């Protein structure tokens, strides 16, 4: 099967009333929200850290990162733990706080449009594209760019980000 016709898999989730998705290959696991430990002097988009099997993992509040108001914590609130390439041959692990995780979607490449350069409610460099699924649009986040903000890069340099093993 040609890779251009093979559907790519994405984990879909809600943030407010909008559906987003990230490539399934970046996802390590999904955790039920059980609170985070605040850490002083972290960037505003970092809620704190969680203990993931003995490792402190920072948690990115995606709503704040996208310059939106954070939603109240509910029983559907989750942390998506992702592995992100550090750009130096290594990788680090970070949690992403979302309102609810939906499902794994198969989105054929033909159903993905490039990110618009204007008019979107999310900065274009943070989007991989826009997928069409059952008549709905799904914003496909480029997790590498969402996490690779300069303030998060500073966390990596300071050793606050857990290295992927």
Q: Tell me the per-residue pLDDT of 142-155, one tens digit each, with 9 for 90 and over.
A: 988 888 654 565 66
Rounded to 5 degrees, φ, ψ at 125 are -70, -15
| pLDDT for position 111 | 93
Quick check: helix, strand or coil at residue 25?
helix
Domain containing 16: what range?
8-163
Residue 73 belongs to a domain: yes
* Cα–Cα distance, 102 to 125 (Å, whole number): 24
Report the predicted TM-score, pTM, of the whole model to 2 decimal places.
0.86
Q: Which residues pair with 26 in a beta bridge?
A: none
CA distance linking residue 51 with residue 134, whole number of Å: 38
Residue 85 lies in a domain: yes
How far is residue 10 from each of residues 21, 32, 64, 101, measured CA to CA in Å? 6, 19, 22, 11
Q: What's 38's domain CATH number?
A: 2.40.50.180
Q: Is residue 18 part of a domain?
A: yes
Banded pLDDT at 31 (limits 50, 70, 90): very high
- Please state, in angstroms and rounded to a whole number, the distance separating the CA atoms of residues 36 and 96: 12
Residue ranges of alpha helices (H) inside 9-96 are 62-65
How do 136-141 and 18-23 pair as beta strands? parallel
In a domain, residue 68? The reply is yes
Q: Per-residue pLDDT for 57 more than 50? A: yes
């Amino acid at each position: 099967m040609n890779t251009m016709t093979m559907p790519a898999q994405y984990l879909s989730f809600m943030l407010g009333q909008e559906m987003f998705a990230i490539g399934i290959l970046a996802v390590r696991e999904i955790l039920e929200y059980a609170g985070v430990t605040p850490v002083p002097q972290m960037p505003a988009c970092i809620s704190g850290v969680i203990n993931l099997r003995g490792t402190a993992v920072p948690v990115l509040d995606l709503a704040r990162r996208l310059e939106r108001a954070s939603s109240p914590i509910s029983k559907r609130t989750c942390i998506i733990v992702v592995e992100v390439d550090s750009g130096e041959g290594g990788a680090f692990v970070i949690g992403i706080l979302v309102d609810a995780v939906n499902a794994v979607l198969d989105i054929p490449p033909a159903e993905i449009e490039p990110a618009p350069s204007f008019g979107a409610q999310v900065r274009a460099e943070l989007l991989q594209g826009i997928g069409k699924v059952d008549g709905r649009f799904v914003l496909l986040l480029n997790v590498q760019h969402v996490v690779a903000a300069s303030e998060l890069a500073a966390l990596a340099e300071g050793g606050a980000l857990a290295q992927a093993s």
